[in-house]
Structure 1
Amino acid sequence: MISLTIGWVGVISYFVRFPEEGNAVLAGAIVAIWTAAWFAGRAQYARVVGMEAKHQGDLARAALAAQQARAELDTERSRIARDLHDIIGHAVNVMVIHAGAGKGMNDADSDTRATFETIATTGRAALADLDRMLGLLEGGPERAPLPGIAQLADLGASISGEALSVQVTVDGDPGAVSPGVGVAVYRVAQEALTNVLRHAGASRAQVTVVIADEVTLTVTDDGRGGPHRPGRGLTGIGERVAMHGGSVRFGQGPRGGFEVWCRLPLGSTG
């Protein structure tokens, strides 16, 4: 269109300046301009069609590559789920079976039977969690609600026993916290209490959740305390909190023992 306009301006200017050239020259100029414009338009159209075809081809190749990547990812996720089920599921099942047998021993006192019952109950809960998470890993529907802040009291009760007393305090409305953040708070508390049982030599642990403009979780104990030693548990806590845009701190508690503290945004509840 621009070339055609320039051509017409040139022809008109020429014949205004040299009117004696006649109609034959004018007709020839018009034909030449239209011919040049037609070829230029066809060339431009061919370029546009070629670029569009290349673009569509690139999109098709990208979609195919993404589809293949998803298929490979699904295959790998299924393999991991099977391995976890076969290895961890089998081991926990054995623990639950032996705990049930120990609870039924005639010469076991009440404290021993209570300990075996705690082991069995915790093992069955772990199997349920494992089964639920493996279903999600394989892309299946969620078969039961994931635990959150409202289940922290049950977590504390399941861990409490002769060796360790766990107190749980929740200040605020758990419903104001998104499900994802609620699960993160629960898992952090679960891992922190597991560390208390394994490493702290404590007799008491306190889990405190405060829900306001954000969520804070504090887990303290009256154990040996001291600086934290890097390990999978604390590293996993840090990664889980960071995934939700929060921050975490480990170390000596204000009154001795060990403290795990983290802060997370409420997240979206919609």
Structure 2
Amino acid sequence: MVTWRWHGRAANIALVLVVGLVAFVGLVVQSRGIDTAAEWAALLAVLAASGALHFRRAHPVTVGVVALAAVGAYGALLHRPGPIMLVFVVALYTVVDEGHLTVAIGLGLASVVAFAVADGNNRTADGGNGATLLHAGWLVAVIAGVTRNRRAYLAEAQARVLAAEQSKEEEARRRATDERLRIARELHDVLGHHLSLINVQASAALHRPDPTRSEQALIAIKQTSKETLRELRTALGILRQEGEAPTAPAPGLNRLDELVTTAGRSGLEIRTELADIRPLPPEVDLAAYRIVQEALTNVARHAGATAAVVRVRPDHDEVVVEVEDDGTGAPGPAGNGIHGMGERARALGGSLTTGPGPDGGFRVRARLPLRPGPAPAGAPS
């Protein structure tokens, strides 16, 4: 769609032609033809002033002075005002619209004087100064109307600028908050899982003085701490190189066996049931891995369970991730781990449900869309 702009070149040329044509026709009608030298000189004044309107936006004050001089010359040549005043009104409008209010007032007063002189030369004995007063009122209306419109336009433009700045600041604050939450969630998942396992294994070594079991616990602690450092370096590398290729790939379900092996060192028996699924988008793959990781951490720390099962299966346009244990401990209030899992799922447009399993224990189920979308309205990011 073509947008018509009054300040465009074509519109400006059209305005010059229309105003010049009206002034020319008015001169011909008023003089009943162009015969005398004065009338030809008045025609030149009309053409010069009309042509000057083409430059009214670039040089508004100069064009206003030229139009005023043409009006004065027209009145002096023909001893009466004429339709050339339309040229001056357009020029005066531009002067006001460009913000030169003081100049516009001066030009308006000067035009009133010139109009009065020309009208006086053509006035009959019974005539009055009604035409001059009408002209003055017309110019006052032009100046006042354009000034009011300009102030309203400037106020609206300023309000839009302030609104845009506030919107940018709010967006920047929102992005900063989301980034802090993302970093906190990532570090919580990386550190919380491994440190919890180290804590469980250390407790087992302290409460079981059997040298063989203590040695196994220390070996498990060593392997878990090594894995902790590796994942921490990977996570920090991803966070530091936002927008660039990370130095190491983010973990996904392809590392589920490593995760199960690490969690199993605490004495938990873990079984996996993986259905054939197509390759997941990176953000979905990472979210699924972190949800399984956090769920197994909670099982090791709080559930008092001896066994757990991890299920991953496709369901239409979603992938379903479940972690179910046989624990007997009643779940407490939701902590950062469950909140973090819910945030990960909702950030992709999915959902997370937690609660008792059908055969006892505790179950975590996440539904993640294979085509991640925005979080639903009102949901935490």
TM class by smaller structure: 0.5 to 0.7
Question: 1:61 and 1:251 mapped to 2: Cα distance?
Answer: 45
Residues 117 and 211 of structure 1, relative CA distance in 2, 3 Å threshold = farther
- CA offset at residue 34 of structure 1? 4.1
Question: 2:173 and 2:369 mapped to 1: Cα distance?
Answer: 33
- CA offset at residue 230 of structure 1? 1.6
Is residue 2:280 matched to residue 1:186? no
1:118 match:
220
1:235-246 → structure 2 map (5 Å cutoff): 235-246=339-350
Contact 2:287 2:344 in 1 (8 A): yes
1:196 match:
299
- CA offset at residue 195 of structure 1? 1.9
Contact 1:253 1:259 in 2 (8 A): yes
Residues 254 and 144 of structure 1, relative CA distance in 2, 3 Å threshold = same
Output the amino acid matched with 1:168: T
Question: 2:286 and 2:172 mapped to 1: Cα distance?
Answer: 32
Output the amino acid matched with 1:200: A
Question: 1:204 and 1:259 mapped to 2: Cα distance?
Answer: 12
Residues 192 and 268 of structure 1, relative CA distance in 2, 3 Å threshold = closer
1:42 match:
146
Output the amino acid matched with 1:121: Q
Question: 1:51 and 1:67 mapped to 2: Cα distance?
Answer: 24
The two structures, once aligned, show a CA RMSD in angstroms of 4.4
Question: 2:278 and 2:221 mapped to 1: Cα distance?
Answer: 28
Question: 2:127 and 2:241 mapped to 1: Cα distance?
Answer: 78
Residues 244 and 58 of structure 1, relative CA distance in 2, 3 Å threshold = same
1:208 match:
311
Residues 23 and 246 of structure 1, relative CA distance in 2, 3 Å threshold = farther
Question: 2:372 and 2:344 mapped to 1: Cα distance?
Answer: 17
Contact 2:345 2:366 in 1 (8 A): yes
Is residue 2:277 matched to residue 1:173? yes
Give the secondary-structure state (helix, strand or coil) at the position aligned to 1:260. strand
Q: Which has the larger radius of gyration?
A: 2
Contact 2:322 2:365 in 1 (8 A): yes
Give the secondary-structure state (helix, strand or coil) at the position aligned to 1:264. strand
Contact 1:227 1:251 in 2 (8 A): no
Give the secondary-structure state (helix, strand or coil) at the position aligned to 2:365. strand
CA shift digits 1:167-193 (9 cap, x unpaired): 223224352x33223222211111111
TM-score between both structures, scaled by the size of structure 1: 0.62
Question: 2:354 and 2:251 mapped to 1: Cα distance?
Answer: 24
Higher relative contact order at CA 8 Å, sep ≥6: structure 1 or structure 2?
Answer: 1
- CA offset at residue 120 of structure 1? 2.2
Residues 108 and 68 of structure 1, relative CA distance in 2, 3 Å threshold = same
Q: Provide the identity percentage.
A: 37
- CA offset at residue 217 of structure 1? 1.1
1:1-270 → structure 2 map (5 Å cutoff): 27-28=131-132, 31-32=135-136, 34-44=138-148, 46-48=150-152, 50-51=154-155, 54-55=158-159, 58=162, 62=166, 109=212, 113-134=215-236, 142-161=246-265, 163-175=267-279, 177-212=280-315, 213-224=317-328, 227-232=330-335, 233-268=337-372
Question: 2:143 and 2:164 mapped to 1: Cα distance?
Answer: 31
Gaps of 5+ in 1: 5-21
CA shift digits 1:142-167 (9 cap, x unpaired): 44322222222221122224722222
Residues 167 and 174 of structure 1, relative CA distance in 2, 3 Å threshold = farther
Output the amino acid matched with 1:258: F
Residues 162 and 243 of structure 1, relative CA distance in 2, 3 Å threshold = closer
TM-score between both structures, scaled by the size of structure 2: 0.46
Question: 2:270 and 2:133 mapped to 1: Cα distance?
Answer: 98
